């Protein structure tokens, strides 16, 4: 009897521990070029880089200036986009910080600063031994629907407990310069994306060799989707201020599926802790539904990526439909491109029950010369060979990261 009580208490402690969202050891937000502390519209506090401990002593070889944007689009948040720090030559911020993996977010606003021509700004950005951006143009890279944007990276800080972030103009023109509007650094759990070993829930798609996503690598976040649900803002993430976008514009074809929602307690655990993804990701999903001839269609999403790189694709699942009560009731196959990435996927069986979240990682090689855009298609198709109760498939969330090339670089052409 005592052993049973101890076992139940240990299980309860495991559930409670897993249900605590992550509290990052380091959160740094620099409003570059600003002179006062401020709060952005999403309620995050920012400090000015001016006079901060992260700024190096200014010399003739390490100079910078500050400027306000010459024009402020009303759709662009003033913080941190109104001001910028301008670099006519190489410039390095130094961040004393704990060791471990970090989100590094760089904020850019495509505008002229003090009369400088934004079209002449090309520069490199490097950190943690990796070139994150090469010959980068904010003007050419800004999304068509927004002049402001964020580039998010995952980098690892070693035992030196220092992260150097270097900006270097890349053209010889006297009018060339580098600049940055905002910098954000947030710690993350050690094993969230950089596992350091071949994880049992990681699949190398279409290859027989092994692949390790470890601390020697840098990643760039390309897509993070809440499938079947609304966008999730940074304050409703699990402590790391990630943005989760609605998946509507990535759906391919006419089979849009259904969007069920259930307000239940997500049963996080040690395999899928609460910081993995917000509860709302697992409470919403897209399914094929009972009204389709499901064996004649795929439920698919299409993503634009660059050739010549490997990609880490993470798919989130959670079975919560009332009719699903056991194994082999909803089973499907995951395709990435033309390759079978995973089969058979029985979420109930894989997670160990209903309301329990689970995710799987897939490393996908997109072959070809660097500089070409390619479509990555993720498709789900019912698996019928085990004769499941339902002919259906489900997906709750998607994350896609580009992994650095063999030379350590993440750089791609400006588009």
> Residues 167-176: what's their mean pLDDT?
82
Q: Is the CB of residue 306 less than 8 Å from the CB of residue 402?
A: yes
For residues 300 and 225, what is the distance between their CA atoms, to the nearest angstrom?
14
- Domains of the chain in start order, with CATH, are 27-187 (2.60.120.430), 202-403 (2.60.120.430)
Please answer whether residues 300 and 381 qualify as being in contact, where contact means their C-beta atoms are separated by less than 8 angstroms. Answer: no
Q: Which two tokens stand for residue 95?
A: 């961040």
Q: What is the pLDDT of residue 11?
A: 43
With 50 as the cut, is the pLDDT of residue 13 above it?
no
Mean pLDDT computed over 364-379: 92
Across the chain, mean pLDDT equals 90
Beta bridge partners of 38: 46
What is the largest distance, in Å, between two alpha-carbon atoms of the chain?
A: 80
Percent of residues, the chain, with pLDDT higher than 70: 91
From residue 224, alpha-carbon distances to 73, 183, 196, 278, 335 in Å are 26, 20, 22, 12, 18
* pLDDT(229) > 50: yes
Give pLDDT tens digits for 44-87: 999 999 999 999 877 666 789 999 999 888 999 999 999 999 99
pTM assigned to the model: 0.93
Q: Which residues are CB-contacts of 24 (< 8 A; sequence separation ≥ 6)?
A: 186, 187, 188, 239, 240
36: DSSP letter: S
Instruction: Region of 408 please: left (phi>0), alpha (psi -120 to 50) or beta.
Output: left
The residue among 77, 179, 102, 84 whose CA lies nearest residue 137 is: 179
Within 13 A of 263's CA, how many CA atoms are on the CB side? 0
Inform me whether the pLDDT recorded for 8 exceeds 80: no
Among the residues of 21-137, which ranges form H helices?
A: 78-81
Q: For residue 6, what pLDDT band results from cuts at 50, 70 and 90?
A: very low
Tokens of 399: 């994350």
Q: How confident is the model at residue 330 (pLDDT cuts 50, 70, 90)?
A: very high
């Amino acid at each position: 009897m005592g052993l049973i009580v101890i076992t139940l208490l240990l299980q309860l402690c495991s559930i409670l521990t897993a249900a605590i969202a992550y509290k990052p050891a380091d959160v740094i937000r620099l409003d570059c070029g600003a002179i006062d502390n401020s709060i952005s519209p999403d309620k995050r506090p920012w400090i000015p880089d001016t006079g901060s401990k992260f700024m190096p002593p200014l010399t003739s070889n390490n100079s910078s200036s500050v400027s306000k944007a010459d024009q402020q689009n009303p759709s662009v948040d003033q913080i941190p986009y109104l001001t910028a720090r301008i670099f006519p030559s190489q410039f390095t911020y130094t961040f004393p910080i704990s060791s471990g993996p970090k989100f590094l977010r760089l904020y850019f606003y495509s505008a002229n600063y003090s009369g400088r021509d934004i079209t002449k700004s090309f520069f490199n950005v490097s950190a943690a031994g990796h070139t994150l951006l090469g010959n980068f143009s904010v003007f050419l890279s800004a999304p068509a629907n927004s002049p402001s944007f964020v580039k998010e990276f995952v980098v690892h800080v070693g035992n030196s407990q220092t992260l150097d972030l270097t900006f270097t103009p890349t053209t010889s023109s006297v009018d060339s310069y580098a600049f940055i509007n905002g910098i954000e650094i947030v710690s993350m759990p050690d094993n969230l994306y950089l596992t350091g070993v071949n994880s049992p829930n990681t699949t190398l798609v279409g290859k027989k060799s092994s692949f390790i996503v470890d601390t020697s690598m840098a990643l760039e976040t390309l897509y993070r989707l809440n499938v079947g649900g609304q966008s999730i803002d940074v304050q409703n993430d699990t402590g790391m201020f990630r943005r989760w976008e609605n998946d509507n514009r990535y759906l391919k074809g006419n089979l849009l599926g259904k969007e069920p929602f259930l307000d239940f307690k997500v049963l996080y655990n040690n395999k899928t802790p609460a910081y993995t993804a917000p509860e709302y990701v697992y409470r919403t999903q897209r399914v094929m539904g009972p009204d389709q001839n499901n064996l004649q269609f795929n439920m698919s999403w299409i993503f634009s990526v660059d050739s010549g790189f490997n990609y880490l694709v993470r798919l989130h699942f959670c079975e919560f439909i009332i009719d699903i009560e056991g194994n082999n009731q909803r089973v499907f196959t995951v395709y990435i491109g033309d390759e079978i990435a995973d089969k058979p996927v029985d979420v109930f069986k894989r997670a160990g029950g209903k309301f329990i979240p689970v995710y799987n990682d897939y490393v996908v090689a997109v072959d070809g010369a660097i500089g070409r855009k390619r479509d990555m298609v993720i498709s789900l198709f019912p698996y019928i060979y085990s004769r499941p109760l339902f002919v259906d498939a489900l997906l709750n969330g998607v994350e896609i990261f580009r992994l650095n090339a063999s030379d350590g670089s993440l750089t791609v052409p400006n588009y």
